[in-house]
Homo-oligomer: A and B are copies of this chain.
Amino acid sequence: MKFGLRHMRYFLAVAEELHFRRAADRLGIAQPALSRAIQHLEAELGVVLFERSNRNVRLTPAGQEFLDGTHGILNAVDHTVENTRQVHAGGIGTIRVGYTDFAIAGTLPSLLQTFRGKQPGITLQPHHDVTTLQLEKLAAGVLDIGFVTGPVSKPDYEQIEIQQDQLVCIVHENHRLANRQSVRLDELANEDFIHGPPREWEHFYAHLMPLCRSAGFIPRIVQEAFNSAGILGLVASGMGITILTESSLIAARRGLIPIPIETTAEPLSTLAIWNPQSLSGSVARFTEFLQARMAQA
């Protein structure tokens, strides 16, 4: 097949006008060029598409068949071009979003909801993962943007803080500290702690451990759980206490008491992080949205 879309557009014009000169006018070319192009097309197909006399032009049955196909094809081309440009510009597309327990317990749900309202053509595909895993998936191109626990040092990536959480100590209602208004970290030195696996909760530990260390102790972790819900469940069962963010209590169980911790330390920050070299228009729209939203707050 050595014909192209040009031939098909020319054919369509002739099939609609049933008149070479008028079709040529409509196409903005000279009539002989059109005659030639149709001849070329017919030779290429090995099929006579028009029955011409000096007085009129009409489609052969094969020409009619080709016309039917041509209509669909030219429409599909326009449609595909339009869609491709939309995806490029970010009007439609899919964004693979990673999030941590802390992010999803905080402001992320309202962020996503607002964005979906503004960009209904963009599908958000959420992936629940700890920070470390999200960073690996970003690098592998499996995720487009991550909502992770900061700080993160990745010079090639852009990031923006979307949330700050004060740490709170969470105890069972029967615990000796349950009715305290606040607590100092050093008072927790001899408690049994429940937390996530150190390798996976690496970024949270990186925030918490220095605080404990300057309070003069290293927390004794007696039990591990894989996520906040699991940790809170174990705390509720009376196995120990934990330190998490305020917002983690959103879906908390009865019988758990949050106690603010007296500290001058920075709160725990949750960041959006993404690769600015990504060629996804949708992601660009999303990050622009995030930046505008954070600037105004």
Contacts and interface: CB of A to CB of B under 8 A. Distances in A.
A45 B76 contact: no
A68 B49 CA distance: 30
Contact of A80 (B4, B66, B80, B84): B66
9 contacts: A4-B4, A4-B5, A45-B84, A45-B88, A48-B279, A49-B84, A61-B88, A73-B77, A73-B80
A83 B78 CA distance: 23
A144 to B, nearest CB: 9
A51 interface: yes
Interface residues of A, number: 40
A280 B61 contact: yes
A62 B279 CA distance: 9
A111 interface: no
A266 interface: no
Contacts of A51: 279
Closest 3 CB pairs of A and B: A69-B80, A4-B4, A62-B88
Q: Looking at A47, A64, A281, which has the most chain B CB atoms within 10 Å of its CB?
A: A47
Contacts of A94: 61
A250 interface: no
Interface in A1-59: 1, 3-6, 45-49, 51
The interface residues of chain A, by DSSP majority, are classed as: helix
B80 A70 contact: yes
A4 B6 contact: yes
Contacts of A73: 73, 76-77, 80
A65 interface: yes
A59 B75 CA distance: 24
Contact of A65 (B5, B62, B83): B83
A156 B279 CA distance: 66
A79 interface: yes
A24 to B, nearest CB: 18
A247 interface: no
A6 B44 CA distance: 15
A46 B87 CA distance: 12
Nearest to A58: B141
Given A48-B88, A61-B88, 13 more contacts: A1-B5, A5-B5, A45-B81, A45-B84, A46-B88, A49-B84, A60-B279, A62-B87, A66-B84, A69-B76, A69-B83, A73-B76, A76-B76
